[in-house]
Structures are given as structure tokens and as C-alpha cells.
């Protein structure tokens, strides 16, 4: 039987969902959204003994942070040579360096749910082959680890500093650590309205000094002033039973990253992609898998990856995009700092934005 809209990562029967907020409460800082980004903000704030309440409409990792491809990639959503063009050389190099430092921190902090395997960007066309060469040249010119790759997966780039993780395990570990460090975290608590000094939910109002909104998908629903710059899309994945016929030691980024897959330690394959093939339907706040994208994923799994194993999971989640490809990380209302819109690659950049948000929140 196929688990419908449950990610392959949801493998811990001992996990107990967070209890809802019960009535009004006071704190210094309220963090909305308990994905990887919100939980990094909570951790940074608790490290400074700040009194924090974290809220999630559903539970820890219920959004993209617990339902993603698990690729841990250095750099921004744009490939490094594109980022140089958009941001300028020094800013792009500095951003890339910060993501490398964050990667090191994640591998060190979560040895049980990460693997530093390196990653592959494999060219799907002649044009992409040339683009991989341009990316490699820029990375090497700037002294970042990268080499040309030619192997069973195809031809392209190998980035040895990258890796993979079990994303839901990471965020649950972060939530457990935050609770142990004294943070108050609540699931099942949808936020209706955010003001500088209060956060309104159906279960009570939080009075606080400042608010961090750490929501990727549907960010513009909670903060409508961001709607001109932020748009939500659905991303879809599937996973298989162990596929011993495949040997995929590193995660693969293919066709400019529209498709991505990794083989898990038990041999299963987790594969995502094809958002652009039904673009108008995938710009949606709905986060349920669709038949058309799932069919494309399945065809690709069989024909390109070569797995014949049964499909065990199909799922989807929301993320948001900006026109520039740069994330939102700014004070959007007096006393409200928003982070999100990572344009499909927020595992590392989300953590960096969360550090910025925590710095802002504790500034006098």
C-alpha cells in the first residue's frame, strides 16, 4: 500500500506531536513556524536565555522542512556563477562561504541524520553541460570545492562539500533539544494575525516583545504585504522500497535542479521534481500530490533512474519563491521579522536567515 501524502522520512513511532497552546501567554519573542528555520531561531534565542514561545499550525516539520528531498547543498538557490551575476562577486562569494560554514555546523550537530556524500549536478542537455562548465569555472576561481564528474549518472559537477540528511529526524531532534533548553513549543495552533507585540490564534493570544515569522510555503498568506514579491508553489516527491538494482552514492541534481534524488541507507530512493511541467497548476497553496506530476516522477524513476521497486510513498509540500531568487529576511512590520521564500532550497539558507532573525530579535 502507498502512504498517501506521508513522507518517507516519517519513520519514528515514538514521536509525540506537540500540544496546542492553551489560553493566552507572555514571552519575549514568539516564533511562528516550527520547521528547520523557526527551530534554528528558537535555538539561537534560547542560547541567549531569551524567553521563547514557538507555534506551529500543525506540528514540528509539518511543512517543507520535514518533507523535502534532504539535499544539503552549498550556495543560494541560484548556482554560484548566476549568483555572481545577480549579487556581484563579493556578495556571492561571501554568501557561498556562509553556506559552507552552515553546512559544516549541520554535519557536526546532526551526525545521526546527515551524511557528507558530496552531490552531483548532472547535465540534462548540451546547454546545461556548458552551464555546468561555467559553474565549475566560477567555483574553482573562487577557491570553492568542485570538480568535473563523468560517471554512471551522467556528466556534470561533483561538489564534495555537500551531502544529504533525513530532514524530519533533524527537525524533531531540534525540537527535542529546544524543549530541553526551556523553549515553550506548541503544535496545532494556527496563527491568524501577527502584530508587533501580539500573535493571535484561535486558542489564545501571545503578548511578546517581537515576532519572528519563519514560514516558507504560504508566507504571503500570513503576511499579505509580501504577496507582490512572494509566490507559493507545490513541490512533489515519491519514494520506493529498497532498490538494490540502483547504486547512487551521492544525491543528484538534474535539469537545473528541477529533478533531484537520493538513495537512502536502506537502498530506497526518494525522488522529486517536474514542478515546471505543470507550472500553472503547481502555483498553488494546495499541498496534496497531483496525478499528473506523480505520473511524470514515476516514469522518470523507471526510465532514467532504473528503479523497478514498488513505490511506497507519495507526498507534496509548499515552498515559496521570489522573483530575484533571493530569500526574504527582513523586518516587514514594526516588530515583525519574516524569513522564508527560499525558492526551493531552504535547508541551509533557512538556517542562515534564522540566525539573522535571532540577531534582530535580541537587538536593543
Ligand X SMILES: Cc1cc2nc3c(=O)[nH]c(=O)nc-3n(C[C@H](O)[C@H](O)[C@H](O)COP(=O)(O)OP(=O)(O)OC[C@H]3O[C@@H](n4cnc5c(N)ncnc54)[C@H](O)[C@@H]3O)c2cc1C
C-alpha cell of residue 182: 526551556
Eight-class DSSP state of 255? T
The angle formed by the CA atoms of residues 291, 297 and 300, to the nearest 5 degrees, is 140
Q: How far is the CB of 304 from ligand X (least distance, A)?
A: 18
Number of residues written out for the chain: 364
Q: How far apart are the C-alpha atoms of 197 and 170, rounded to whole Å?
A: 30
Q: How far is the CB of 126 from ligand X (least distance, A)?
A: 26
Q: How far is the CB of 69 from ligand X (least distance, A)?
A: 3
Q: How far is the CB of 348 from ligand X (least distance, A)?
A: 6
Q: Is the CB of 139 or the CB of 338 nearer to ligand X?
A: 338
**From the CB of residue 36, how many other CB atoms can be counted at a distance below 10 Å?**
29
Residue numbers at the binding site for ligand X (CB under 6 A) = 32-38, 55-58, 62-65, 67-71, 190-191, 214-218, 222, 235, 237, 260, 272, 317, 319, 340, 342, 344-348, 350
Distant-in-sequence, close-in-space partners of 107: CB < 8 Å, separation ≥ 6: 72, 114, 116, 163
Distant-in-sequence, close-in-space partners of 300: CB < 8 Å, separation ≥ 6: 259, 271, 273, 274
Q: How far is the CB of 230 from ligand X (least distance, A)?
A: 12
**206 contacts 192 by C-beta, under 8 angstroms:** no
Q: Is the CB of 141 or the CB of 230 nearer to ligand X?
A: 230
Q: Is the CB of 81 or the CB of 218 nearer to ligand X?
A: 218
- The closest of 285, 282, 286 to 297, measured between CA atoms, is 282
Q: How far apart are the C-alpha atoms of 227 and 323, rounded to whole Å?
A: 11
Q: How far is the CB of 349 from ligand X (least distance, A)?
A: 7
Q: How far is the CB of 65 from ligand X (least distance, A)?
A: 3
Q: Is the CB of 123 or the CB of 289 nearer to ligand X?
A: 289
C-alpha cell of residue 52: 521563547
Q: How far is the CB of 188 from ligand X (least distance, A)?
A: 9
Q: Is the CB of 109 or the CB of 133 nearer to ligand X?
A: 109
**231 contacts 203 by C-beta, under 8 angstroms:** no
Q: Is the CB of 69 or the CB of 156 nearer to ligand X?
A: 69
Distant-in-sequence, close-in-space partners of 101: CB < 8 Å, separation ≥ 6: none
Q: Is the CB of 77 or the CB of 132 nearer to ligand X?
A: 77
Q: How far apart are the C-alpha atoms of 317 and 291, rounded to whole Å?
A: 15
Q: How far is the CB of 139 from ligand X (least distance, A)?
A: 18
Q: Is the CB of 89 or the CB of 192 nearer to ligand X?
A: 192
**From the CB of residue 285, how many other CB atoms can be counted at a distance below 10 Å?**
13
Distant-in-sequence, close-in-space partners of 58: CB < 8 Å, separation ≥ 6: 187, 188
Q: Is the CB of 130 or the CB of 217 nearer to ligand X?
A: 217
Angle at which helices 89-109 and 349-362 cross, to 10°: 90
Amino acid at each position: 500500500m502507498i502512504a498517501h501524502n506521508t513522507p518517507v522520512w516519517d519513520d519514528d513511532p515514538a514521536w509525540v506531536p506537540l500540544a496546542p497552546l492553551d489560553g493566552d501567554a507572555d514571552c519575549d519573542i514568539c516564533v511562528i513556524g516550527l520547521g528547520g528555520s523557526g527551530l534554528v531561531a528558537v535555538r539561537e534565542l534560547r542560547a541567549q536565555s531569551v524567553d521563547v514561545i514557538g507555534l506551529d499550525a500543525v506540528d514540528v516539520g509539518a511543512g517543507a522542512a520535514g518533507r523535502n528531498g534532504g539535499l544539503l547543498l552549498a550556495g543560494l538557490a541560484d548556482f554560484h556563477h548566476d549568483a555572481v551575476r545577480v549579487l556581484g562577486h563579493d556578495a556571492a562569494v561571501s554568501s557561498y562561504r556562509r553556506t559552507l560554514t552552515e553546512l559544516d555546523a549541520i554535519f557536526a550537530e546532526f551526525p545521526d541524520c546527515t551524511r557528507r556524500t558530496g552531490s552531483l549536478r548532472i547535465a540534462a542537455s548540451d546547454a546545461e553541460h556548458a552551464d555546468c562548465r561555467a559553474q565549475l569555472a566560477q567555483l574553482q576561481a573562487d577557491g570553492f570545492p568542485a570538480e568535473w564528474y563523468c560517471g554512471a549518472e551522467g556528466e556534470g559537477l561533483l561538489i564534495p562539500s555537500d551531502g544529504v540528511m533525513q530532514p524530519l529526524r533533524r527537525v524533531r531532534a531540534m525540537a527535542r533539544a529546544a524543549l530541553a533548553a526551556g523553549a515553550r513549543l506548541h503544535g496545532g495552533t494556527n496563527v491568524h494575525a501577527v502584530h508587533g507585540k501580539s500573535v493571535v490564534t484561535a486558542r489564545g493570544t501571545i503578548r511578546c516583545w517581537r515576532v519572528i515569522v519563519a514560514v516558507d510555503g504560504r508566507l504571503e498568506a500570513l503576511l499579505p504585504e509580501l504577496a507582490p514579491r512572494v509566490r507559493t508553489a507545490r513541490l512533489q516527491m515519491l519514494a520506493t522500497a529498497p532498490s538494490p538494482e540502483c547504486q547512487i552514492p551521492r544525491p543528484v541534481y538534474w535539469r537545473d535542479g528541477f529533478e533531484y534524488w537520493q538513495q537512502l541507507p536502506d537502498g530506497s530512493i526518494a525522488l522529486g521534481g517536474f514542478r515546471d511541467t505543470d507550472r500553472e497548476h503547481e502555483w498553488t497553496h494546495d499541498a496534496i500530490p497531483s496525478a499528473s506530476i506523480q505520473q511524470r516522477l514515476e516514469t522518470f524513476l523507471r526510465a532514467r533512474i532504473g528503479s523497478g521497486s514498488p513505490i511506497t510513498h507519495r507526498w507534496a509540500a509548499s515552498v515559496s519563491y521570489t522573483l530575484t531568487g533571493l530569500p526574504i529576511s527582513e523586518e516587514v512590520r514594526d516588530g515583525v521579522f519574516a524569513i522564508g521564500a527560499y525558492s526551493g532550497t531552504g535547508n541551509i539558507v533557512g538556517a542562515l536567515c534564522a540566525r539573522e532573525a535571532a540577531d534582530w530579535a535580541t537587538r536593543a
